A = this chain, B = another copy of it.
Amino acid sequence: MALAELTPELEPYLAQAAYIQMSIFESVARVATLAPSVRAKESLSPAAGQALDKHHRLVVELGKVTDDPAAQMQGIAPAIDHYAAVVRGGDWYESLSSIYLTAGILDDFFVLLAAGIPGDVGTKAAKIIEADTKRDVIPVLLADAIAADPMLGSRLALWGRRLVGDTLLVARSAIHQSGNVYTDEQRIEPVFTELIAKHSRRMDGLGLTA
């Protein structure tokens, strides 16, 4: 596991992981709010609850190593908020696919990064992040829409490929903000290759060409 050598610092790691779950929560709550039917809203709302729960559980862990979790998260919030705006997409389907794909990459990344944290807190954080996302409903919602409109599939395939760059920038920034300013790029690359491979499988799962 290449990322185990990255040994992130605990406080920035937990602050980033927690705030990203908050950001996922906000994105899911937004698509649930804008859902075209109550049925779609109902199917998405558990994913909002799960992300919020993961956020709160990661904040509990963060609270064990700092007196002021909010202050720790405040430092990285503007960059994550900006990223969330960039990957929001221009309509409901772009927003929906973006959540599935970007949260997928970021969850994978923070689970991999957790392996480099000494003690059991890394394992604990990974378990929190890996727990059921309830986002499996998203491919179902998208499949119906893509079947009804083939042009939508082409557009979302382009969109899904575009999301990777911005998301890997967030991941790279998380590594650097975790104190690994001098991290060898050769250690990061295999990790990114793994993240992209998993992303391609999610694209396949959405019926999109990666």
Contacts of A33 in B (CB 8 A): 26, 29-30
Contact A26 B32 (CB under 8 A): yes
Scoring A residues 21 to 56 as 1 if CB is less than 8 Å from chain B, else 0, what string do you get? 010011001101100011101100110110011011
User: Is A59 interfacial (CB-CB < 8 Å)?
Assistant: yes
- Interface on chain A toward B: helix, strand, loop, or mixed SS? helix
Alpha-carbon gap, A122 to B187, bound state (A): 60
Chain B residue with the shortest CB-CB distance to A37: B74
Alpha-carbon gap, A45 to B74, bound state (A): 15
Point out which of A33, A37, A46, A77 has the most chain B C-beta atoms below 10 A from its C-beta.
Answer: A33
User: Is A86 interfacial (CB-CB < 8 Å)?
Assistant: no
User: Is A10 interfacial (CB-CB < 8 Å)?
Assistant: no
User: Could you list which residues of chain A lie within 8 angstroms of chain B, going by C-beta atoms?
Assistant: 19, 22, 25-26, 29-30, 32-33, 37-39, 41-42, 45-46, 48-49, 52-53, 55-56, 59, 69-71, 73-74, 77
Contacts of A48 in B (CB 8 A): 25, 29, 52
A-B contact pairs, 26 of them (CB 8 A): A22-B45, A25-B29, A25-B45, A25-B48, A26-B29, A26-B32, A26-B33, A29-B29, A29-B33, A29-B48, A30-B30, A37-B70, A37-B74, A38-B70, A38-B73, A38-B77, A39-B70, A39-B71, A39-B74, A42-B70, A42-B73, A45-B52, A45-B55, A46-B56, A48-B52, A49-B56
